[in-house]
Structure 1
Amino acid sequence: MDQHYLSQLLDTIIDDLLMRRKKRLQANSKIMHVIISGDDLTTLPATLDCLMALTHSGYCLRLAFSCSASHSALQATCLDALTQRGIDVLCDNCEPGAVTDNDWGLYLPALSTNSMSKIALGIRDNLVCRWAFYALAQNKPVIVTLNAECRHDSTTHFAPALRARLANYAAILMEYGCTIIGQPAPVSPEKRLLTLSDVRQHPSGDTLHIGGNTLITPAARDEIRDRGIAIVQRLKE
């Protein structure tokens, strides 16, 4: 058997195995499109845990990597870690309009400040934003985990006004219909008065969402200021 024939035979076998694998994965009726963005490797362990949980829940994972992820070490490291964990995925960087699946959802892990802000403001100039708006337009579930600096329990020393703005963007995503894992629920819009005792139930540096018609007592405002709590108030009804 000459070397050229052997090489062709190996290529044929590999192509056949890859096709069988693709068909096996696609046979699963539940598809989760996962768009991984950024270049922060510290977010990868939490992302991998979520992907494993989705796999165990019966989802076929179809991964796409943003430009920043594919041009950094994140893509190669992620795919290698998935292989080591035994998580089987399909990897394609298709645009959302190319989706042919029926039962699918969208997962945006470790969503960056940049992409979260753009989605909240209706900007669609990157892969993450295009996928987010396409899924929402198709009434598909959109699951988001936030980048560390965007979470309400972040240790990043942002000014209270900036933390409030980021929290407001997260609230807008929830109003769009996105599910944000780990995001605190807002104070009930039925609550008309926020008191000192209400504020003391929240840790220092927390972000508190309140209804548009909620009034804040002077003592509660002093406590909010002294403990660096950010207030996000909905528009008045």
Structure 2
Amino acid sequence: MTPASQVSPHREEPHTTDTAARLNWLRAGVLGANDGIVSVAAVVVGVAGATTSTGPILTAGMAALVGGAISMALGEYVSVSSQTDSQRSLIEKERRELAEMPQEELAELTALYEAQGLTPQTARQVAVELTEHDALAAHLSAELHIDEDDVASPWHAAVASAIAFTLGAVLPMLAILLPPEPVRVPVTFIAVLVALGATGWTGAAIGGGSRLRAASRVVLGGALALAATFGIGSLIGGSGLVG
């Protein structure tokens, strides 16, 4: 039997940094897939409003898929790189300060725990014990709220973002290309809105928010995007600009 001291009363809550990081990655994946669904669906539906020819729809859809995936990956890489560089700089600064002035750093850590409500004696004891165990980890957690092992990889973030976007984009591509021409747009509308409702529901479930409200928001936004692009495509097609 597991000792009572080792049993957490909130085992389903993300108390560990590892669990929290995984939830963040999962949430980012859901959002990336949502972007892929909406952006590519808007493009192919817009082109389908202008022409019934499969060639232009396929070309535009593939261009949107590849361009969107690369853009998402590049944006994520730049963003995470900036964050990672900043975190590593802070970690190195803290490591240098611990080596050069350990007593001042111990006093600083003690003061931080006092500010959290501990008595001076308890704060000092906690600071000393944590410093003896892992001084750098203690200071990173108390001062900067980061973990040395949780510094994200820009390449991992970029690849994950591109994959999530691509998986989301595949749905509208299949929905617009596989059905017969007379029903391809209605089928795409339905498939996309159902998928958006699922991603909104999933994202809210991960984040602990209102699932119905989140799903409703993304479905409404997706419907507006599809209606707008289809309307613009139909106007352009009716103008004779597209053969």
Instruction: Give me the TM-score of the superposition, normalised by structure 2.
Output: 0.24
Instruction: Give the number of the structure whose alpha-carbon radius of gyration is greater.
Output: 2
Higher helix share: 2
Higher strand share: 1
Instruction: Give me the TM-score of the superposition, normalised by structure 1.
Output: 0.25
